[in-house]
A = this chain, B = another copy of it.
Amino acid sequence: MGFDPEHTKILRQVSLFAGLESQELQGILLAARLVQVEEDGYYFMQGDPAAGIFVLMEGRVKLVQVSLEGQQVLMRVVVPPGVFGVVSLLEGGEFPVSATAMQNSKALFWSAAEIQQIASSYPAVAMNTIRVLAEQVQDFQARFRELATERVERRLARTIIRLANQAGRKTAEGVLIDLPLTRQDLAEISGTTLYTVSRILSQWEERGIVQAGRERVVVRFPHGLVMIADDLP
């Protein structure tokens, strides 16, 4: 596969391939394989050898890490045109997380050998990878600091703000977080329990800040969330 013009268009927006010429993109696209995974299916599992890199075209994917005792943490939600499996740039690694489709999803795939080849042919790709990873390091540093120093309510507010920036969609009622996230998911992102998330959302709903439903959060008063995140009155 590889000739869908729609895909070329999306590839242009992929941070990993920024700064490449149309023709170069075409070549890269030719090497890709399209992988479809349906809801609750896996792109890969934690511990699998890092087989290759993915660029999400359609759907939603979550990256989850499980501890030995089976406790889960949701590391990241990927929306198109996001990249995941970057660790495949390195030889002999394994995936540190599992990648699950939250909805039916499509992703372009390059094997580890292919993407390593691409990165060495196009220095821009290597630099873009460095940028992507550096951003991830900073993001995790910030989340780590928050988890270490802040109360649950604040962390949850920041989580919702992040998700709104990433996957928010304006509707009549407010900004809809366009992801099918359960209370459990929100808890796993913010480092708390589903019960605490539920209680906090209920409070926020009473205060008119959000409107919450089954796997659904709409932000009605974004400034209210920011005030909680920054601990203002």
Determine if A134 and B69 form an interchain contact, defined as CB atoms under 8 angstroms apart.
no
Q: Is the CB of B130 within 8 A of A90?
A: yes
Q: A144, B144: Cβ atoms under 8 Å?
A: yes
Interface size on A (CB < 8 Å)?
42
CB distance from A123 to the nearest CB of B (A): 6
B138 touches A137 (CB 8 A): no
Q: Check if A68 is an interface residue, CB within 8 A of chain B.
A: yes
A73 contacts the other chain (CB 8 A)? yes
Residue A120 at the chain B interface, CB threshold 8 Å: yes
Q: A148 at interface (Cβ–Cβ under 8 A)?
A: yes
Interface string of A49-68 (1 = CB under 8 A from B): 00000000000000001011
Are A148 and B149 within 8 A (Cβ)? no
Q: Pick the contact of A90 from B69, B86, B131, B149 — CB < 8 Å?
A: B131
Q: In the bound complex, how far is the Cα of B86 from the Cα of A129, in angstroms? A: 13
B89 touches A147 (CB 8 A): no
Contact check, A144 vs B145: say whether CB atoms are below 8 A apart: no
Which of B67, B86, B90 makes the CB contact (< 8 A) with A145? B67
Residues of B within 8 A of A65 (CB): 141-142, 145
State whether A149 touches B73 (Cβ < 8 A). Answer: yes
Q: Given contacts A86-B134, A127-B126, A140-B140, are A149 and B71 in contact (CB under 8 A)?
A: yes
A174 at the interface (CB under 8 A from B): no
A147: which of B75, B86, B134, B147 is its contact (CB, 8 Å)? B147
17 pairs, A vs B, C-beta closer than 8 Å = A65-B141, A65-B142, A65-B145, A67-B150, A71-B148, A73-B149, A75-B145, A87-B138, A90-B130, A96-B138, A96-B142, A133-B137, A140-B140, A144-B147, A147-B147, A147-B191, A148-B191
* A contact set with B: CB distance below 8 Å: 65, 67-69, 71, 73, 75, 86-87, 89-90, 93, 96-97, 119-120, 123, 126-127, 129-131, 133-134, 136-138, 140-150, 188, 191, 230-231
